[in-house]
Structure 1
Amino acid sequence: MKRILAGVLMVAFAATMAAAADTVTMKAKNGDVTFNHKAHSATIACKECHGEAAPGKLTLGKDAAHKLCKGCHDAKKQGPVKCGECHKK
Protein backbone atom coordinates (compact mmCIF):
# COMPACT_ATOMS: atom_id res chain seq x y z
CA MET A 1 0.00 0.00 0.00
CA LYS A 2 2.86 2.39 0.82
CA ARG A 3 4.40 1.75 -2.59
CA ILE A 4 1.13 2.54 -4.34
CA LEU A 5 0.76 5.78 -2.40
CA ALA A 6 4.38 6.73 -3.12
CA GLY A 7 3.81 6.01 -6.82
CA VAL A 8 0.66 8.11 -6.94
CA LEU A 9 2.45 11.00 -5.24
CA MET A 10 5.36 10.79 -7.66
CA VAL A 11 3.03 10.85 -10.67
CA ALA A 12 1.11 13.81 -9.22
CA PHE A 13 4.37 15.69 -8.61
CA ALA A 14 5.63 14.98 -12.13
CA ALA A 15 2.32 16.10 -13.63
CA THR A 16 2.48 19.35 -11.67
CA MET A 17 6.01 20.03 -12.88
CA ALA A 18 5.06 19.23 -16.47
CA ALA A 19 2.07 21.58 -16.32
CA ALA A 20 4.10 24.54 -15.03
CA ALA A 21 4.60 27.26 -17.60
CA ASP A 22 8.08 27.94 -18.95
CA THR A 23 7.61 31.69 -18.54
CA VAL A 24 5.28 33.63 -16.28
CA THR A 25 4.12 37.22 -16.73
CA MET A 26 2.84 39.13 -13.74
CA LYS A 27 0.85 42.30 -14.39
CA ALA A 28 2.16 45.43 -12.70
CA LYS A 29 1.18 49.09 -12.83
CA ASN A 30 4.66 50.29 -13.76
CA GLY A 31 5.31 47.53 -16.34
CA ASP A 32 4.70 43.80 -16.50
CA VAL A 33 7.28 41.43 -15.04
CA THR A 34 8.08 38.32 -17.08
CA PHE A 35 10.40 35.69 -15.67
CA ASN A 36 11.64 32.29 -16.71
CA HIS A 37 9.80 29.90 -14.40
CA LYS A 38 11.52 26.85 -15.84
CA ALA A 39 14.99 28.23 -15.04
CA HIS A 40 13.94 29.29 -11.54
CA SER A 41 12.33 25.93 -10.75
CA ALA A 42 15.50 24.13 -11.82
CA THR A 43 17.52 25.85 -9.07
CA ILE A 44 14.99 26.84 -6.41
CA ALA A 45 12.67 24.54 -4.43
CA CYS A 46 8.97 25.15 -5.13
CA LYS A 47 8.27 25.92 -1.46
CA GLU A 48 10.67 28.90 -1.57
CA CYS A 49 8.08 30.82 -3.58
CA HIS A 50 4.87 28.83 -3.19
CA GLY A 51 5.14 27.98 0.52
CA GLU A 52 4.08 24.65 1.93
CA ALA A 53 0.89 24.43 -0.16
CA ALA A 54 0.83 22.62 -3.50
CA PRO A 55 2.42 24.84 -6.18
CA GLY A 56 -0.06 26.92 -8.09
CA LYS A 57 -0.56 30.40 -9.44
CA LEU A 58 0.80 33.10 -7.15
CA THR A 59 -1.01 36.36 -6.61
CA LEU A 60 1.48 38.85 -5.26
CA GLY A 61 1.06 42.50 -4.45
CA LYS A 62 3.90 44.97 -4.87
CA ASP A 63 5.31 44.59 -1.36
CA ALA A 64 5.10 40.80 -1.33
CA ALA A 65 6.69 40.49 -4.79
CA HIS A 66 9.53 42.82 -3.88
CA LYS A 67 10.16 40.95 -0.63
CA LEU A 68 10.05 37.54 -2.31
CA CYS A 69 11.72 38.16 -5.67
CA LYS A 70 14.00 41.13 -5.09
CA GLY A 71 14.85 39.84 -1.62
CA CYS A 72 15.99 36.52 -3.08
CA HIS A 73 18.00 38.24 -5.82
CA ASP A 74 19.68 40.49 -3.23
CA ALA A 75 20.45 37.57 -0.92
CA LYS A 76 21.93 35.41 -3.69
CA LYS A 77 23.58 38.38 -5.41
CA GLN A 78 22.06 37.14 -8.68
CA GLY A 79 19.35 38.41 -10.96
CA PRO A 80 17.83 41.83 -11.52
CA VAL A 81 17.19 44.18 -8.60
CA LYS A 82 16.56 47.55 -10.29
CA CYS A 83 13.03 48.54 -11.31
CA GLY A 84 13.61 48.68 -15.07
CA GLU A 85 15.39 45.34 -15.08
CA CYS A 86 12.14 43.53 -14.20
CA HIS A 87 9.33 45.94 -15.13
CA LYS A 88 8.87 46.32 -18.88
CA LYS A 89 6.26 48.58 -20.46
Structure 2
Amino acid sequence: MKRTVILFAAMILTASVGLAADVILFPSKNGAVTFTHKRHSEFVRECRSCHEKTPGKIRNFGKDYAHKTCKGCHEVRGAGPTKCKLCHTG
Protein backbone atom coordinates (compact mmCIF):
# COMPACT_ATOMS: atom_id res chain seq x y z
CA MET A 1 0.00 0.00 0.00
CA LYS A 2 2.77 2.44 0.95
CA ARG A 3 4.56 1.69 -2.32
CA THR A 4 1.37 2.35 -4.30
CA VAL A 5 0.87 5.73 -2.61
CA ILE A 6 4.48 6.75 -3.31
CA LEU A 7 4.21 5.63 -6.94
CA PHE A 8 0.92 7.53 -7.38
CA ALA A 9 2.43 10.71 -5.86
CA ALA A 10 5.43 10.43 -8.18
CA MET A 11 3.13 10.06 -11.20
CA ILE A 12 1.15 13.17 -10.25
CA LEU A 13 4.32 15.20 -9.70
CA THR A 14 5.75 14.08 -13.04
CA ALA A 15 2.50 14.90 -14.83
CA SER A 16 2.33 18.38 -13.31
CA VAL A 17 5.88 19.16 -14.44
CA GLY A 18 5.03 17.87 -17.92
CA LEU A 19 2.07 20.25 -18.13
CA ALA A 20 4.04 23.34 -17.09
CA ALA A 21 4.30 26.11 -19.65
CA ASP A 22 7.62 25.71 -21.44
CA VAL A 23 8.29 29.29 -22.51
CA ILE A 24 7.35 32.05 -20.09
CA LEU A 25 7.76 35.73 -20.91
CA PHE A 26 8.31 38.07 -17.96
CA PRO A 27 7.74 41.73 -18.86
CA SER A 28 10.21 44.22 -17.40
CA LYS A 29 10.98 47.91 -17.83
CA ASN A 30 14.54 46.88 -18.79
CA GLY A 31 13.30 44.49 -21.48
CA ALA A 32 11.30 41.30 -21.25
CA VAL A 33 12.95 38.13 -19.93
CA THR A 34 12.23 34.86 -21.75
CA PHE A 35 12.38 31.81 -19.48
CA THR A 36 12.45 28.25 -20.84
CA HIS A 37 11.09 25.99 -18.11
CA LYS A 38 11.99 22.70 -19.79
CA ARG A 39 15.61 23.67 -20.33
CA HIS A 40 15.98 24.85 -16.74
CA SER A 41 14.22 21.82 -15.23
CA GLU A 42 16.45 19.46 -17.23
CA PHE A 43 19.55 21.27 -15.98
CA VAL A 44 18.54 21.96 -12.35
CA ARG A 45 16.37 18.84 -11.81
CA GLU A 46 15.26 19.80 -8.28
CA CYS A 47 11.98 21.79 -8.30
CA ARG A 48 12.69 23.27 -4.86
CA SER A 49 15.75 25.02 -6.22
CA CYS A 50 13.33 27.57 -7.72
CA HIS A 51 9.86 26.80 -6.34
CA GLU A 52 9.01 27.32 -2.66
CA LYS A 53 7.57 23.93 -1.71
CA THR A 54 5.79 22.43 -4.69
CA PRO A 55 5.79 22.90 -8.45
CA GLY A 56 3.56 25.71 -9.66
CA LYS A 57 3.53 29.47 -9.82
CA ILE A 58 6.13 31.13 -7.59
CA ARG A 59 4.16 33.38 -5.21
CA ASN A 60 6.71 36.12 -4.59
CA PHE A 61 8.26 36.17 -8.05
CA GLY A 62 9.51 39.58 -9.11
CA LYS A 63 12.71 41.53 -9.68
CA ASP A 64 14.20 40.85 -6.24
CA TYR A 65 13.39 37.13 -6.39
CA ALA A 66 14.73 36.77 -9.93
CA HIS A 67 17.95 38.61 -9.21
CA LYS A 68 18.58 36.66 -6.00
CA THR A 69 17.45 33.20 -7.11
CA CYS A 70 17.94 33.09 -10.89
CA LYS A 71 21.00 35.27 -11.29
CA GLY A 72 22.43 33.85 -8.06
CA CYS A 73 22.09 30.30 -9.40
CA HIS A 74 23.73 31.30 -12.69
CA GLU A 75 26.67 32.80 -10.77
CA VAL A 76 27.10 29.82 -8.42
CA ARG A 77 26.89 27.24 -11.21
CA GLY A 78 28.96 29.28 -13.64
CA ALA A 79 26.27 28.73 -16.26
CA GLY A 80 23.67 31.01 -17.74
CA PRO A 81 23.63 34.77 -18.19
CA THR A 82 24.59 37.12 -15.36
CA LYS A 83 24.67 40.43 -17.25
CA CYS A 84 21.49 42.52 -17.58
CA LYS A 85 21.23 42.56 -21.38
CA LEU A 86 21.72 38.79 -21.65
CA CYS A 87 18.44 38.14 -19.79
CA HIS A 88 16.56 41.34 -20.62
CA THR A 89 16.41 40.86 -24.37
CA GLY A 90 12.82 41.79 -25.24
Q: Which category of TM-score, normalised to the shorter sequence, fits these structures?
A: 0.7 to 0.9
Aligned to 2:50: 49
Measured after TM superposition, the shift of residue 3 of structure 1 is 2.6
Structure 2 unmatched ranges of 5 or more:
none
Structure 1 length as normaliser, TM-score? 0.87
Find the residue that maps to 1:88 and give its secondary structure.
coil
Aligned to 1:75: 76
Aligned to 1:11: 11
Instruction: Quote the Cα distance in structure 1 between the aligned partners of 2:77 and 2:8.
Output: 35
Across the aligned residues of Structure 1 and Structure 2, the Cα RMSD in angstroms comes to 1.4
The question of 1:60 aligning with 2:61 is answered yes
Instruction: Quote the Cα distance in structure 2 between the aligned partners of 1:76 and 1:65.
Output: 16
Measured after TM superposition, the shift of residue 54 of structure 1 is 1.4
Q: Cα deviation per residue 1:17-54 (whole Å; 9 max; x = unaligned)?
A: 21112222112121111022101101211100002x21
